[in-house]
Amino acid sequence: MIMIPQEIIRRKRNGEALEKADIAAFVHGLADGAISEGQVAAFAMAVWFSGMNLDEIVALTLAMRDSGDVLSWADIDSPIADKHSTGGVGDNVSLMLAPIVAACGLAVPMISGRGLGHTGGTLDKLESIPGYDIKPSAALFRQTVREAGCAIIGQTADLAPADRRLYAIRDVTATVDSVPLITASILSKKLAAGLQSLVLDVKIGNGAFMVGLKEAETLARSLVDVANGAGVKTTALITDMNEPLADAAGNAVEIENCLAFLRGEKAGTRLEAVVMSFAAEMLMTSGIAASPTEGTDLARRALQTGAALERFGRMVHSLGGPADFVERPQAYLVKAPVILAVEAPQDGFLQSCDARDVGMEVIALGGGRTRPDEPIDHRVGFSGLKPLGTKLEKGEPIAFVHAAGVDQAEASRARLLEIYAIGDEAPPERPVIVSKVSGSRISG
């Protein structure tokens, strides 16, 4: 039977459930250009209004996965695992998590992205490292995973090409925030990487795309149920993003933060709590650890012995970076010409901040993009960001601005003082791990 795009669009517009074969045919036409942009836009809007049931989302995800290459890791004995975050500010978890779990016995072929909106991009951070190739050949990608245990790269033209076209059209038709389309977009790329297990980080708060818990749980449940329905064992953690996660936000400054973490210098932080929770979850989901305690112990051992740092260095060198990068990062990471302290204007406690505004200020400094083809300044951003609840004395630094010039640094310092509120009382503590989604159950 010939696929008629407008008939599929009409049925979805009217709220009908689409057959698997119809979805597969539509995605095939999406990938090869047989379906017009207008028809793709109409389909996306129909899904936005009418939604999709679980079977439809699974079918859409698998069809988009199968629109390009699907990687196979038959030559690697280790469990194939990955993690994905919906994005935040100072969220450099992937940089440390991949080498930590690789040192514990997982193989992590991580397909990451650039910054989106106010959120930082893992690829932008890695490009702070001279020579690091985010688009290696398939052979080098495989070699790096085999030898280092992990490789963090960008999406290639051959992985889920239908998603690239659909996402570009969603971006200009106000349909980005459709849970079925978000789910299929995220998972089609992850499943194309040939994963056996996946752990998802769904952020909530003023620095996240999903601000409230209810909408975060809806997205997390969709992602987990669809991924499991597609044959990949998957869980999700919902985590707090009401303040920057790391004490740095930017690109080179977050690579420095990553190395400090892998050297064991970030113990007791919210960042450590998130990284260790995801390490334990990945190790349990893949079958290496039997409990959260065992998983956490394995991850801590990888840090304490230096094995995780060594894996990171091995990955960097395999993908074109300096052989001695982890030993001599200061010789390679670019420094901003102006570094300015943001001093507390009064005594008190850091009570609140708008994490999204911190991310937007990194973009204003040049550390992010306002257009897809815009170059970024890897030098700029913030370091030494104090966590909420910190007791400060007047004149004590809240953070340090890294800027290309004095005027930019001064403007950013003034803006950061508007973003952070200081008061007489400490704010209530918030758990950084809010809840877990596993199958159809959510546990707090």
Written as tens digits, the pLDDT of the chain (444 aa) is 577 899 999 999 999 999 999 999 999 999 999 999 999 999 999 999 999 999 999 999 999 999 988 988 988 999 999 999 988 899 999 999 999 999 999 999 998 876 555 666 888 899 999 999 999 998 999 999 999 999 999 877 788 889 888 988 887 788 877 899 989 998 998 899 899 999 999 999 988 877 789 989 999 999 999 999 888 999 999 999 999 999 999 999 999 999 999 999 999 999 999 999 999 999 999 999 999 999 999 999 999 999 999 999 999 999 999 999 999 999 999 999 999 999 999 999 999 999 999 999 999 999 887 665 678 899 999 999 999 999 999 999 999 999 999 999 999 999 999 999 999 999 999 999 999 998 754 444
Question: Does the active-site annotation cover 77?
Answer: no
Which class in CATH covers the domain with range 81-328?
Answer: alpha beta
Domain ranges of the chain: 5-65, 81-328, 334-423
Quote the CA–CA distance of 142 and 140 in Å, as a whole number: 5
200's enclosing H/E stretch is strand 197-204
Backbone angles phi, psi at 36, to 5 degrees: -70, 165
Which residue out of 190, 270, 317, 356 is catalytically annotated?
190
Which residue out of 114, 164, 165, 189 is catalytically annotated?
189
Question: Does the active-site annotation cover 328?
Answer: no
Question: Does the active-site annotation cover 203?
Answer: no
- Which amino acid belongs to residue 51? G
Question: Does the active-site annotation cover 82?
Answer: yes
Question: Does the active-site annotation cover 50?
Answer: no
Phi-psi region of 283 (alpha: psi -120 to 50; beta: other; left: phi over 0): alpha
Which residue out of 128, 156, 178, 185 is catalytically annotated?
185
Report yes or no: 244 and 207 within 8 Å, Cβ to Cβ.
yes
Which residue out of 22, 82, 124, 133 is catalytically annotated?
82
Quote the CA–CA distance of 296 and 280 in Å, as a whole number: 5
CA angle 235, 83, 296 (to 5 degrees): 75
Q: How confident is the model at residue 115, as a pLDDT?
A: 57
CATH topology of domain 334-423: Aldehyde Oxidoreductase; domain 3 (3.90.1170)
Which residue out of 65, 84, 221, 270 is catalytically annotated?
84
Q: How confident is the model at residue 269, as a pLDDT?
A: 96
- E-strand ranges in 3-157 read 81-85, 108-112, 150-154
Distances 319 to 132, 291, 294, 322 between C-alpha atoms, Å: 6, 33, 31, 9
Quote the CA–CA distance of 275 and 76 in Å, as a whole number: 25
Q: How confident is the model at residue 121, as a pLDDT?
A: 81
CA angle 408, 412, 413 (to 5 degrees): 120
Question: Does the active-site annotation cover 438?
Answer: no
Q: How confident is the model at residue 286, as a pLDDT?
A: 95
Which residue out of 12, 65, 170, 356 is catalytically annotated?
170
Q: Is 22 buried (19+), middle (13-18) or exposed (0-12) by CB count in 10 A? A: buried
Question: Does the active-site annotation cover 440?
Answer: no
Which residue out of 78, 122, 286, 412 is catalytically annotated?
122
Q: Which CATH superfamily is domain 5-65 in?
A: Transferase, Pyrimidine Nucleoside Phosphorylase; Chain C (1.20.970.10)
Q: How confident is the model at residue 443, as a pLDDT?
A: 46
Which residue out of 67, 78, 85, 188 is catalytically annotated?
85
Q: How confident is the model at residue 444, as a pLDDT?
A: 46
The predicted model scores a pTM of 0.90
DSSP H helix total and E strand total for the chain: 16, 14
Quote the CA–CA distance of 190 and 159 in Å, as a whole number: 9
Q: How confident is the model at residue 373, as a pLDDT?
A: 65
Question: Does the active-site annotation cover 67?
Answer: no
Report yes or no: 221 and 63 within 8 Å, Cβ to Cβ.
no
H-state helical runs in 377-424:
406-419
Question: Does the active-site annotation cover 11?
Answer: no
